[in-house]
Amino acid sequence: MKFTKMHGLGNDFVIIAGETRLPVEAGKLARNICDRHTGIGADGLVYILPSAIADFRMRILNADGSEAEQCGNAVRCVALYYYERISGARQALTVETQAGVQRVWLEGDGMDRLVRVDMGRPVLASKDIPAAVEGETVVDRTLQVNNRGEERAYTFTAVSMGNPHAVIEVEDARGYPLEQWGPLVETHPYFPNKTNVEFITIRSRDEMDMRVWERGVGQTMACGTGACAALVASVLRGRADRRALVHLKGGDLLIEWNEEDGRVYMTGPAVTVFEGEWNR
């Protein structure tokens, strides 16, 4: 099976194209391929499949084999893959995901190539995120976690970008021990489908630091949907303007929550690393 290794700001994926559907044991394959010691090593396994309603369809499996509805960094990667390999591909593309159809634009070229994605409208209704908390939306709510006897109460805001996110403002996101606390928030009973967790520090109204604990993966170097959720949560909390640079471990994403159409736009890079063949 031929594959291509790609990444968006260090959030890395094995990309498979040419199949018509997900294999039956896609979860097991994802676990094997994503293993960093005995496999190729990646945060996720991504399939480029045919679509009846868009240029192509993307499906993504996390490193633990679970399927995610959406992935911002992977959308940029598959758009670049498609643009570079499919003859006649336009610079404006559409991608079908489990969370709907997304518009993508390839901007600039060579080393300056960036990919802009319409990530859609954020979902704020608690029942649709889903978050099992009382009230219509989930802004500045509290959850309690216990790490081997140490209690912590977090103020969080929940947003879905097709996939669920809990955004937590902390004093120093860059030095935050997210391995200790991320898994407890990810699996908190408030989130029936689990959640991605973003720890953010606001630097100014148009800049923030973010570290992410991803559902089904663990700490990653970047999360596109997470950066979108972080901006949306910060706007809802009155902490940021609608356009901000999000500094992640792997680099920066520019995120804009457009006031006119209510949609979130993400701009960032995508990189092809190598190609190979998986024989197992």
Ligand X SMILES: N[C@@H](CCC[C@H](N)C(=O)O)C(=O)O
Interacting residue with ligand X among 225, 233, 246, 264 (CB under 6 A): 225
Select from 92-100, 144-152, 175-183, 212-220 the region that touches ligand X (CB under 6 A).
212-220
77: annotated active-site residue: no
Closest separation between CB of residue 149 and ligand X, Å?
29
Taking CB under 6 A as the rule, does residue 68 contact ligand X?
A: yes
Residue 260 is labelled as binding a ligand:
no
Q: Out of 34, 77, 223, 228, which one is annotated catalytic?
A: 223
What is the rounded CA–CA span in Å between residue 99 and residue 206? Answer: 27
Longest Cα separation, the chain: 59
Segment interacting with ligand X (CB under 6 A) among 19-27, 71-79, 181-189, 198-206: 71-79
Query: How many positions of this chain bind ligand X (CB under 6 A)?
Result: 17
Q: Which of 72, 74, 80 is nearest to 34 (CA)?
A: 74
Q: Please give the Cα distance from 124 to 113 (Å, whole number).
A: 32
Rounded Cα gap, residues 180 and 47, in angstroms: 32
Look at residue 5 and give its three-state secondary structure: strand
Our answer to whether residue 71 is catalytic in this structure is yes
Rg of the chain over Cα atoms, rounded to whole angstroms, equals 18
Least distance CB 214 / ligand X (angstroms)? 4
Does 216 help bind ligand X (rule: CB under 6 A)?
A: yes
* Residue 217 sits in the site that holds ligand X (CB under 6 A): yes
Residues 72-131 that bind ligand X (CB under 6 A): 72-73
Sign of CA dihedral 224, 12, 213, 94: positive
Residue with tokens 């300056």: 112
Distance from the first to the final alpha carbon of the chain: 9
**Strands 207-214, 56-62: pairing kind:** unpaired
Paired strand residues for 200: 169, 210
The catalytic residue among 34, 71, 77, 228 is: 71
175 is an annotated ligand-binding site residue = no
Query: Does residue 224 interact with ligand X by CB under 6 A?
Result: yes
Which residues are documented as binding site for substrate? 11, 62, 72-73, 163, 196, 214-215, 224-225
Residues labelled as active-site residues: 71, 223
Interface residues with ligand X (CB under 6 A) are: 11, 62, 68, 71-73, 163, 196, 214-217, 220, 223-226
